[in-house]
Amino acid sequence: MVPRFLSTGFKYVEIPAFTDVQQVIDAAVALVTSPTDPSSGWTRFTLDGNGYYCSPITSLLVPQFKFKLTRSTQYRLTLQCRGANDVTLAPTNPNCSLQIPANPCSARVFAGDGQFCIDITTYTTNGETVWCGSLDQTPDVINFPGINTAWCMGSRRDSDFARQYSTWSYVTLQQGDDQAIMQELTDMHRVSGGGNGPARNLSGSLIYWPRELFAKVRGDTGVYGVGHWIGRSWQIILVPDTGMVPGSKFYCPIDAGVLGQFYSLVGLTTAYGRIPAIRIG
Amino acid sequence: MAVPAFWATPFSYTELLAVTDVATAIAGIHTALIALGWTDDSGVGTGPWKTPARSDGAFFKIALTRTSATRLSFMMYDQAGINVSAGTAYCMDVEAAGNPFQIFAGTMHLALNSARPAQHESAWFSMMDQTPEPLTFPQAYYRMYSGPRVGSSFYNYGWNFTYCLYPGGTAYQQRQVAPLRMPGTTSTWQRRTVALTSLFSPAEFADSGNTPPMFLGRIPQAIVVDDTTGIVAGAEVIVPIDAGVNATFKVLGLASYYQQRLAFRKS
């Protein structure tokens, strides 16, 4: 059986040679509002009264998230994210923007029931990314009180567009009832003692893992409390940063006889020896 | 979905009550192993005992010796006949007055636990599960716990202290290997979800000495539990291993390592 976090609807589009982030916003809106297609499992997003595009509620097991894209300048774009409770994540300490160069560049936009991502794939040295989504916490109880599953992050700080916390392991989450915090998540698939998890098996095959994460969001003790497993990202996996070039399109077996196709992201830098990849097929 | 291969191997659990002479333990181990298809080289119940051959022919052997009424000595040999502990005879004790003795046997593993009241003494031996890799490439991979004692000297090693033959190595070495699925380095992390559900994971290892590290395999019919939740040696946990399938695992007496303990399948 295909794992639940790889069983939700998804879609993606490539945007070649654009010079204004408005083109990316337009393409992203067109993508998420494209008609529902039961044959592919795709369900369209809806627009709420606050300008947020709301992920479809296709199952009670897939928490809703909402996002809004804003063009700050021709070259700068900001993403805002909310959970189903309409609390805006990190309204005062946002790190959820990206910047494009003056020369034409290209992008990929990924969307689905539990994820949204814009990945700028051509830049001078680094790509740029904004992404957000909700988390698969099954088989645990859903929506544990005080824990919202929405998350977001981007390559740059919104206030001055300085590049900051641009590794994939930094995200903004809601802590408790009323705080939105930025913190570094921890990849679950590490080894005791804090080392990176294995990249290959004994025969040399690359190992891919779900993006399963630990974070300090309960506030049991201290500022951020004790770290706990907070769930796995929908349709996102982690791949080794050795042996996998950012921007690669590759296949990964997701069940016996079933292959999923993924793109590794360009705009988020490595953490724990891994880079993220998002499902496209 | 199906039960994962490393929890689908044949296994058995035997508890001997009030063992006062390790000869009783050896007899119990013999019975458990023969029932699972192991062969007794001696033919008279004194071993060494050889696992059933895996589909690629891989196997290992265990030799058990009654050093005294209260001391059981053991050796492990891989399929090439190499002594896995480099000649060191490790052993475990039972109380002269007797204590429970648990035998966790399987076609690819054997774990023993002498439940002495003051301090459990445990040992484990295994051929590692490397699925979904092809069995014949690159090699069968064996592990033996480095303990719990050499003669009268007791070593309360963590359960990850093992003898193993590292990729590219020519002789088994005593190494502390890295269990997987652990988020951090300090006690500020728990193997629990945000809803405080306990997380149990396969007992799988990586060779963190290599760059990038390599996945080495899993101990069949074993799991890792978080002892910050109060789990102690001898505790039993019931864990879902597939939709609608629960398994019971019992925690060995080996020392905790980064808040984790090793438990073997009981039922």
Where are the domains positioned within chain A? 4-279
pLDDT digits (tens, 9 = 90+) for A91-111: 766 789 999 988 889 999 999
Residue B121 has pLDDT above 90, yes or no: yes
Which residues of A lie inside 8 Å of B (Cβ-Cβ)?
Answer: 1, 137, 139-141, 144, 147, 186-203, 205, 207, 214, 216-218, 222, 226-231, 240, 242-243, 273
Find, among B104, B118, B150, B106, the residue nearest to B251 by Cα.
B104
The average pLDDT across A34-63 equals 95
User: How many C-beta atoms lie closer than 10 Å to residue B223's C-beta?
Assistant: 25
The average pLDDT across A141-155 equals 74
**Which of B137, B192, B193 has its CB closest to that of A137?**
B193
Q: Which residues contact residue A131 at a Cβ distance below 8 angstroms, ignoring those fewer than 6 apart? A: A79, A115, A116, A117, A118, A119, A152, A153, A154, A268
Torsion of CA B246, B248, B251, B257, to 10 degrees: -10
Structure-block tokens of residue A231: 């769930």
Residue A133 has pLDDT above 50, yes or no: yes
Q: Do the beta carbons of residue B173 and residue A184 sit within 8 Å?
A: no
State the pLDDT confidence band at A176, using cuts at 50, 70 and 90. low
State the pLDDT confidence band at B180, using cuts at 50, 70 and 90. confident
The mean-pLDDT minimum among A150-164, A191-205, B4-18, B26-40 falls in A191-205
Interface contact B188-A214, CB threshold 8 A: no
pTM for this predicted structure: 0.90
* CA A105/CA A20 separation, integer angstroms: 9
User: How many C-beta atoms lie closer than 10 Å to residue A48's C-beta?
Assistant: 13
Residue B21 has pLDDT above 90, yes or no: yes
3-state SS, A62-122, equals CCCEEEEEEECCCCEEEEEEEECCCCECCCCCCCCEEECCCCCEEEEEEEECCEEEEEECC
**Which of B138, B183, B208 has its CB closest to that of A227?**
B183
Please report which helix (H) or strand (E) contains residue B59, including its range.
Answer: none
Domain ranges in chain B are: 11-265
**Which residue from B minimizes the CA distance to A206?**
B214
Structure-block tokens of residue B5: 């291969």
Residue-wise over B209-218: b if at least 16 C-beta within 10 A, else e? eeebbbbbbb
**Which residue from A minimizes the CA distance to B180?**
A191
The average pLDDT across B94-113 equals 97
Number of cross-chain residue pairs from A and B with Cβ atoms under 8 Å apart: 131
Q: How far is CA B74 from CA A164, B25, B93, B99, B166, in A?
A: 56, 12, 12, 19, 22
* CA A191/CA A224 separation, integer angstroms: 23
Closest-CA distance of chain A to residue B195, Å: 6
Find, among A119, A164, A126, A153, the residue nearest to A14 by Cα.
A119
Q: What percent of chain A has pLDDT over 70?
A: 89
pLDDT digits (tens, 9 = 90+) for A197-256: 888 887 788 999 999 888 877 665 554 567 888 889 999 999 999 888 999 999 999 998
pLDDT for the residue numbered B123: 93
* CA A11/CA B38 separation, integer angstroms: 53
Closest-CA distance of chain B to residue A239, Å: 12
The residue written with tokens 């992920």 in the block is: A55
The pLDDT mean for chain A works out to 88
pLDDT for the residue numbered B96: 97
* CA B199/CA B205 separation, integer angstroms: 17
pLDDT for the residue numbered B108: 95
Residue A25 sits at φ, ψ, to 5 deg, of -60, -45
E-assigned strands of B80-231? 90-93, 99-106, 109-114, 121-127, 142-145, 149-150, 153-154, 161-164, 173-176, 178-179, 189-193, 201-207, 214-226
The average pLDDT across B240-259 equals 90
Residue B170 has pLDDT above 70, yes or no: yes
3-state SS, B199-267, equals CCEEEEEEECCCCCCEEEEEEEEEEEEEHHHCCCCCCEEEEEEECCEEEEEEECCCECECCEEEEEECC
pLDDT for the residue numbered A223: 46
Residue B227 sits at φ, ψ, to 5 deg, of -90, 0
Beta bridge partners of B161: B176
Which residues of B lie inside 8 Å of A (Cβ-Cβ)?
Answer: 1, 130, 133-134, 137-139, 141, 160, 167, 178-185, 188-197, 199, 206-208, 212-217, 240, 257-258, 260
* CA A86/CA A123 separation, integer angstroms: 34
When mean pLDDT is compared over A79-83, A136-140, B143-147, B158-162, the highest value belongs to A79-83
pLDDT digits (tens, 9 = 90+) for B212-249: 678 888 999 999 998 877 888 999 999 999 988 999 99
**Which of A202, A228, A230 has its CB closest to that of B167?**
A202
* CA B123/CA A265 separation, integer angstroms: 45
pLDDT for the residue numbered B23: 98
Find, among A1, A127, A131, A47, the residue nearest to B3 by Cα.
A1
Query: Between A24 and B158, whose confidence is greater?
Result: A24
Omega of the bond prior to B212 within 30 degrees of 0, cis? yes
Q: Which residues contact residue A81 at a Cβ distance below 8 angstroms, ignoring those fewer than 6 apart? A: A65, A66, A67, A88, A89, A96, A132, A150, A151, A152, A172
Longest dimension (CA), chain B: 54
